[in-house]
Amino acid sequence: MLKKIYHLGYAVEDIAAAARFYEEHFGVQVGEPEEVAEQGIVATMFEVGESMVELVQPTRPDSPVGRFLQKRGEGFHHVAFQVEDLQASLKELKESGVELIDEEPRVGASGARMAFVHPKGAHGVLTELVELPSDKR
């Protein structure tokens, strides 16, 4: 089901400061932040080889990432696996009893189709599945 680690998501208080940190000290190029209003976040990415790191800042304290920051502080938030067929993967997981946050794909940053698996059902790790438009046949 899984093609690769697409990105790791970091929850940050200040996306501009975090982007500057990785640019200055690790020499990466961070993209323009993009707001995903539905999720209450602004997010951006930088490449690390074939994978990426996603920096996520909440735009409101009551969004899921806002609540995460209040409870846990900054740090690792989720892993995103790239899948071939998101709809089929969600169906397979649901049928085998895995608890999902999103039973249907939704549209995330950059227009990619994505869905979250509940961390309770995934040994404590919030797990995102992503299907890229280029994977569509």
Residue 80 binds to Co ion (criterion: CB under 5 A): yes
Rounded CA-CA distance 69/103 in Å is 25
93 closest CA partner among 127, 113, 120, 117: 117
Interface of this chain with Co ion, residues 18 to 57, rule: CB under 5 A? 54
Look at the alpha carbons of 33, 136, 106, 115 in this order and tell me if their dihedral is positive or negative.
negative
Stretch that binds Co ion, among 2-10, 13-21, 33-41, 58-66 (CB under 5 A): 2-10
Residue closest to 104 by CA, chosen among 115, 95, 96, 112: 115
Tell me which residues in 112-131 interact with Co ion (CB under 5 A).
Answer: 128
- In the complex with Co ion, the residue whose CB is nearer, 54 or 93, is 54
State the nearest-atom distance from the C-beta of 9 to Co ion, in Å.
Answer: 4
**Which residues sit at the interface with Co ion, rule CB under 5 A?**
9, 54, 80, 128
